[in-house]
Structure 1
């Protein structure tokens, strides 16, 4: 195994995990990190049964994973629920990886505009009683919240994985690059926009966009694309 293949990054599978499973069998990585939008009709572990036990599996959520209660439950209540990287840093195959799932949502925070709510409690405090006493809707759970985003800046990591893109992409957000710089990150891997590309942003941070169903290694080389 090449040192660059010890961690693989998988773009949005949208229900088709064949490329990731094939790449794991071929390259035998220590870990894989999935970048969101799974579109799960059954629990995540059932899709990945062929590779569970062969490699560590980590993930962040994308916007599609909040579209329906079933998609949400099949991810967040799966046997792999504890492997979420969202808003934390984990040591994966000896590398510190931070995760930021979800998307920027206009009704919550859409940079460079200021956030509409300080945090989730601030939002709930301004809702009517029947909303205030209920669980937050899936739409709002899919959002990147300003206070949680800011809290990540207090941690350090080598790699940041996100669903949204930083400013390297025409539809990306420069503030993600600012987060990476604050954390001391050298590499960002993201999904969501279905494009394979590699670019460099400020502070010499390399950005690797991973297309839907594509799998790349630590250098951003495409290993599988089905």
Structure 2
């Protein structure tokens, strides 16, 4: 196994995990990190049963994972729920990986605009009683909240994995690159936009976009045998 294959990154599977499963059997990585948008009709472990004894599985959530209560439950209440990397730094395959799941949502915060709400508590305090006393909607749970984003700045990591893209992509956000620089990150891997590409941004940070149903290694090289479908239904 190449040192670069010890950790693999899987782009949005949208219900089809064949590329990831094939890559794990072929390369036997220490761990895999999935970048969101699973579209789960069953619990996550059901799809990955074939590889759970072969490698560690880590993940962040994408916008599709909040679309329905079923999809949400099958991820956040799955047997792999504790493998979320969101809003923390975790050592995986000898590297410190920081995770940022979800998306920027106009009704919460859409950089470079100022946040509409500083945090979830402020949002809830301004809602009607029936909303204030209920669980936050899935749409709002999918959002990147400004205070949680800012809290990551105080942490240090080698790699940042996100669903949203940094400013390296035409649909990306410069604040993600700024966050990575503050954290001392050298590599960013992201999904969501269904494109394979490599860019270098400020502070010499390497950005790797990972297309849907594609798996890459630590150098951003595609290691999956199944060609990605380059649609933009994100």
- TM bucket, shorter chain: over 0.9
Q: Distance in 2 between matches of 1:156 and 1:33?
A: 18
Q: Where does residue 9 of structure 1 map in the other structure?
A: 9
Superposition pairs of residues 1-226 of structure 1, within 5 angstroms? 1-224=1-224, 225-226=226-227
SS in structure 2 at match of 1:13: coil
TM-score by length of 2: 0.96
Unmatched 5+ stretches in structure 1: none
Q: Distance in 2 between matches of 1:146 and 1:53?
A: 37
Per the TM alignment, residue 53 of structure 1 is displaced from its structure 2 partner at its CA by 1.5
Per the TM alignment, residue 67 of structure 1 is displaced from its structure 2 partner at its CA by 0.1
Runs of 4+ aligned structure 1 residues displaced above 6 Å come to: none
TM-score by length of 1: 1.00
Q: Distance in 2 between matches of 1:213 and 1:122?
A: 38
Q: Distance in 2 between matches of 1:56 and 1:148?
A: 26
Per the TM alignment, residue 119 of structure 1 is displaced from its structure 2 partner at its CA by 0.2
SS in structure 1 at match of 2:178: helix
SS in structure 1 at match of 2:54: coil
Per the TM alignment, residue 143 of structure 1 is displaced from its structure 2 partner at its CA by 0.1
Deviations 1:15-66 (A, max 9, x none): 0000000000000000000000000000000000000011000000000000
**RMSD across aligned C-alpha pairs, in angstroms?**
0.4
Q: How many residue pairs were aligned?
A: 226
Q: Distance in 1 between matches of 2:89 and 2:15?
A: 26
Deviations 1:136-169 (A, max 9, x none): 0000000000000000001000000000000000
SS in structure 2 at match of 1:153: helix
Per the TM alignment, residue 100 of structure 1 is displaced from its structure 2 partner at its CA by 0.1
